[in-house]
Chains A and B, each alone.
Chain A
Amino acid sequence: MSWLDVWTQSFEQMVGPSAVFYCLAAIGLNVHFGYTGLLNFGQSAFMMVAAYALGSLVATWDQSFWLGILVGFGAVALLAVLLGLPTLRLRADYLAIVTIAAAEAIRQILGSVSLVEYFNGQDGLFGFQETFENLNPYDERVGFDIGSFGVHWSAYDFWVMTVGWILILLSCIIVYLLMRSPWGRVVKGVREDEDAVRSLGKNVYAYKMQSLMIGGMFGGLAGYMTALAHNPAPSDFATDTTFFAWTILLLGGAARVFGPVAGAIVFWFFISWLDLFFDKATAENLIPDSIMDSNQASLMRLIVLGLVLMLLMIFRPQGIFGDRRELAIDAR
């Protein structure tokens, strides 16, 4: 790997499959948190439920791919109702507690030994992407070169990216259309002050439930893309998946339609570059072993990421797209 590869691979990751599904997950969180003020710390649960519904229906029960997609959305809606029913009447904190716990519980259940014949335990599901693979119009590596600088993706990755970015575009349009409507106005009102909205004759509980469901559906899309990009295993849906999506949302700017998109692009470029840079620097002994060896280097990206997130919250809490003026208003 050359120093140039540090840059080209970072650019590949910037819009690659990972950026796609984290972006979709963050769009869901944007509906939850950015617009409605719901603290969902279990977005990975929505992703996992959709991914596993699709994977297990095709791989375990030999059903069609499209039925899997449909059942996945159904499962997401059911999960939203189950999570929302007991918590949405209570203060915002309760949803946060319940979602983070539910996400872990679901991950442990789907990865458990006793259900291994259905969900294949910790190895995860595979061999169900055939329908999607067959639709792939690309038959060789796709990419472009500018002089010696070139970015390339495998045909399948590029197919995942194509579908993924179309879904992102559609999701952004849906979010935009919803949030400029009176429905979006009510939801934003709920974010500001539930009681005021209630006093004006709006059924706040129903709006929160709808929002939880819609944001969950975007999480479901993220789950499908994860499942199609590589074989989904329980470790793909750990809590750090949710927190990466949160980082992306805050980085891009909450309550902005393109916030999650900008966040995902910046995040994945940044985190790939850090990873590759420290890897290369330790391998070349630019950073001597006495300071850091290559195993330790792989952790550097998370350390730097944490630092950047802190600096972001201090100096630009509104994110890339946010409006500082809006943040300066003390809502409560």
Chain B
Amino acid sequence: MPGDTPATSSPSAVGLADVQAEPGSAKPDPILVVDNITRSFGGLVAVDVDHVEVQRGIITALIGPNGAGKTTFFNLLTGFDRPDQGRWSFNGDDISGRPAYHLARRGMVRTFQLTKALARLTVLENMRMGAGDQRGERLWGAMLKFLWRGQEDDITERAHVLLKRFRLDEKYEDFAGSLSGGQRKLLEMARALMADPELVMLDEPMAGVNPALKQSLLAHVKSLRDDGMTVLFVEHDMDMVRDISDWVIVMAQGRIIAEGPPQSVMGDQRVIDAYLGAHHDADLTVEEEEQILARAQEELAAEQEETP
């Protein structure tokens, strides 16, 4: 949508005016710094990132074609998978190899591509679970309600406020499993906020969500930034990325191939090649089209023979 006023802040507004639009560029105030991280599955190198920094207080998008290693990279950073090697730090503290729950407690909370609502708990219980450092979650105090009642009331109150913000307040007594796909996405995001995160990591927050809800989800993601949180999200829908992100990191075949503000990155030749293939703008000749057609027909015929 060229010509529209971009909804995002300009690079200068978020303090990234002087940052070079190059892979691995240094940011003025990074919340997350990653060095030399690799992960391979057998012979396939899924992630091989030399250096990347994520700026505090903005929305950073991690994009790339299918199979680029975005989700694997995400899993590595959040402790859900172990890298072959590599170091990364959060707020200046080395957190490489720390377990997932430890990172979540530090303020780095993630969501999942395939939503993980706790189906047979109610929406409210899902929310309460999100809150960190609960006295009643320790075995020794759990049976003595007077120890945790006060804290539980505070948590419940916070949960109701967040549910209202995410328009789930009327569903709070329902089982999370009875919610629609989009509502589960909202619930997951709201639940992550219960943990008071500094960095929210969203793995394809818009996947499988209808267009109407997409707009509302977009607004919610933006509101996270406005509340002072840092957002890092994985996405492959370019339009969405253009809409809300302040900075874009592009991955392809496990590597970071480009970085920069959304407007400039979308025009980057390396990015276009990664998404569409290097020869995407060369037209097919008539002969080539006929060849493809003939091949397809042969395959069809062969299939029909196999299944009498």
A: residues with CB less than 8 A from B are 174, 177-178, 180-186, 188-189, 191-193, 195-204, 210, 214, 325-326, 329-332
Contacts and interface: CB of A to CB of B under 8 A. Distances in A.
B120 interface: yes
Name the residue among B101, B104, B112, B121 with the largest chain A CB count within 10 angstroms: B101
A332 B145 CA distance: 31
Given A329-B175, A329-B178, A331-B177, A188 B121 contact: yes
A201 B148 contact: no
B302 to A, nearest CB: 38
Interface in B132-152: 132, 134-139, 142-143, 145, 148, 152
Chain B: number of interface residues, binned into ranges: 35 or more
Contacts, number: 114
Given A186-B137, A201-B102, 17 more contacts: A174-B143, A178-B142, A181-B137, A181-B142, A182-B135, A183-B139, A183-B142, A188-B118, A195-B80, A195-B116, A198-B100, A199-B111, A204-B101, A210-B139, A326-B175, A329-B119, A330-B119
Interface of B: 78, 80, 99-102, 104-105, 109-112, 116-121, 125, 128-130, 132, 134-139, 142-143, 145, 148, 152, 175, 177-178, 191-192, 194-195
B112 A195 contact: yes
Nearest to B111: A199
A222 to B, nearest CB: 21
A61 to B, nearest CB: 32
B142 A182 contact: yes
B130 A181 contact: no
Contacts of B116: 193, 195-196, 199
Given A199-B104, A200-B191, A181 B143 contact: yes
Contact of A182 (B99, B100, B117, B136): B136
Contact of A201 (B104, B119, B120, B121): B104
16 contacts: A181-B137, A181-B142, A182-B142, A185-B121, A188-B118, A188-B121, A195-B112, A196-B117, A198-B101, A198-B104, A199-B111, A201-B104, A202-B129, A329-B119, A329-B120, A329-B175
Nearest to A331: B119
Point out which of B118, B121, B152 has the most chain A C-beta atoms below 10 A from its C-beta.
Answer: B118
Given A182-B142, A199-B109, A326-B175, A192 B118 contact: yes
Nearest to A181: B142
A23 B140 CA distance: 25
A181 B117 CA distance: 20
A182 B128 contact: yes
A196 B109 contact: no
Contacts of A174: 143
Contacts of B136: 181-183
A192 B119 contact: yes
Contact of A202 (B101, B112, B143, B145): B101
Given A178-B143, A181-B145, A331-B120, A203 B175 contact: no
B104 A184 contact: no
Given A182-B128, A189-B121, A203-B101, A198 B80 contact: yes
Nearest to B145: A181
A93 to B, nearest CB: 20
A199 B110 contact: yes
Nearest to A188: B121
B177 A330 contact: yes
Contact of B118 (A177, A182, A183, A189): A189
B5 to A, nearest CB: 36
A125 to B, nearest CB: 32
Nearest to B115: A196
Q: Rank and list the top 7 A-B pairs by shortest CB-CB distance, nearest first.
A: A329-B177, A182-B136, A201-B104, A183-B142, A196-B116, A181-B142, A192-B118
Nearest to A203: B101
A201 B80 contact: no
A183 B137 contact: yes
Given A329-B120, A330-B119, A200 B142 contact: no
Nearest to B151: A182
